[in-house]
């Protein structure tokens, strides 16, 4: 989604119900997940990655994804996103009525084998199968298909990844039928300079319109700086997780995502419209904390609170 075509400037895509929950030990009750998603949507969040169609034996935290998708689809105006590891998962996602499907392709083949148990060529073949599956749906029922370039800023298992490999895999995903590619800092290796460089590299391969979003982690404290660098390059979709929960169970040391609350505050303070009510978003955090009493949550805004008299800055022509 290009946020510039709507009444918001930046689309904040909430990934906590998927990326957050898959990375923690607690299993959130299904009804609590529904309450979380409903409350965030009511706060103005327009896209939520609600789960992943993976085998329950691998990620029991997400075993109820089909039920969660069915519930989320009843919320007006909400884009219901899911992650899938393969064509079988995509088939279930399409049957569930998900609006957006993301297939991760680790540019590190070592990580791909650990995460999906598939080589690069096998994942590309899965992407092709998914692309054909989506194309076979009636025009109004085709989910948006994103190929996510995971570990694109570096891998804890393999180290730096060559530009040539990144470019080759980005092109392969688009040729397989993806509507767009996204960049994912799975391991928290990104810095603002590398964000700018990788955006330019991938756009040179796939075109500006096929790269609008980025998924960032705050492993080394650079999450918001990296988000700002992405904004400077014209990206309009930023993934974030409420309370910063999340990571990657197959990438050692890949701690949590950037914090939704902190990101929304930064954007609104800059005059970039997100459509999200910050006070209501902070209330959602309390709801989630009560449902996950054993889990740590992160973020500066929840502790510091909004500045006295804070109002979103006037809209800017920033992008």
Q: Taking Cα atoms as reference points, which of 65, 10, 59 lies closest to residue 275? A: 10
Catalytic residue, candidates 155, 178, 233, 248: 248
Q: Is 253 left (phi over 0), alpha (psi -120 to 50) or beta?
A: left
SS (H, E, C) the chain: CCHHHCCCCCEEEECHHHHHHHCCCCCCCHHHHHHHHHHHHHCCCCEEEEEECCCCCCCHHHCCHHHHHHHHCCCCCCEEEEECCCHHHHHHHHHHCCCEEEEEEECCHHHHHHHCCCCHHHHHHHHHHHHHHHHCCCHHHCCEEEEEEECCCCECCCECCCHHHHHHHHHHHHHCCCCEEEEECCCCCCCHHHHHHHHHHHHHHHCHHHCCEEECECCCCCHHHHHHHHHHCCCCEEEEEHHHCCCCCCCCCCCCECEHHHHHHHHHHCCCCCCCCHHHHHHHHHHHHHHCCCCCCCCCHHHHCCCCCCCCCCCCCCC
Cα–Cα distance between 31 and 132 in angstroms, integer? 34
Q: Is 248 a catalytic residue?
A: yes
Cα–Cα distance between 3 and 315 in angstroms, integer? 14
Residues labelled catalytic: 248
């Amino acid at each position: 989604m290009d946020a510039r075509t709507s009444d918001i400037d930046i689309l904040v895509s909430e990934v906590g119900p998927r990326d957050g929950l898959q990375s923690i030990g607690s299993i959130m009750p299904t009804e609590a997940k529904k309450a979380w998603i409903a409350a965030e949507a009511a706060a103005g969040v327009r896209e939520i990655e609600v789960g992943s169609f993976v085998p329950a034996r691998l990620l029991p935290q997400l075993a109820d994804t089909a039920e969660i998708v069915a519930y989320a689809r009843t919320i007006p105006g909400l884009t219901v996103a899911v992650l899938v590891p393969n064509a079988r998962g995509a088939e279930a996602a399409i049957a569930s009525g998900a609006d957006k499907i993301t297939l991760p392709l680790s540019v590190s083949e070592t990580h791909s084998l650990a995460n999906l148990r598939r080589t690069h060529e096998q994942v590309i073949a899965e992407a092709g199968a998914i692309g054909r599956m989506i194309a076979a749906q009636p025009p109004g029922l085709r989910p948006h298909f994103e190929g996510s370039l995971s570990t694109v800023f570096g891998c804890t298992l393999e180290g730096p990844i060559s530009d040539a490999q990144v470019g080759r895999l980005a092109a392969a995903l688009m040729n397989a039928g993806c509507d767009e590619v996204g960049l994912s800092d799975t391991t928290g290796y990104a810095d603002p300079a590398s964000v700018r460089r990788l955006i330019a590299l991938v756009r040179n391969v796939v075109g500006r319109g096929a790269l609008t979003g980025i998924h960032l982690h705050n492993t080394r404290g650079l999450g918001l700086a990296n988000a700002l660098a992405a904004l400077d390059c014209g990206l309009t979709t930023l993934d974030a997780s409420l309370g910063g929960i999340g990571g990657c169970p197959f990438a050692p040391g890949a701690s949590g995502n950037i914090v939704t609350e902190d990101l929304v505050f930064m954007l609104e303070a800059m005059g970039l419209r997100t459509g999200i009510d910050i006070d209501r978003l902070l209330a959602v955090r309390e709801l989630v904390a009560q449902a996950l009493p054993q889990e740590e949550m992160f973020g500066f805004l929840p502790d510091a609170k909004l500045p006295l008299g804070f109002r979103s800055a006037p809209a800017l022509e920033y992008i």
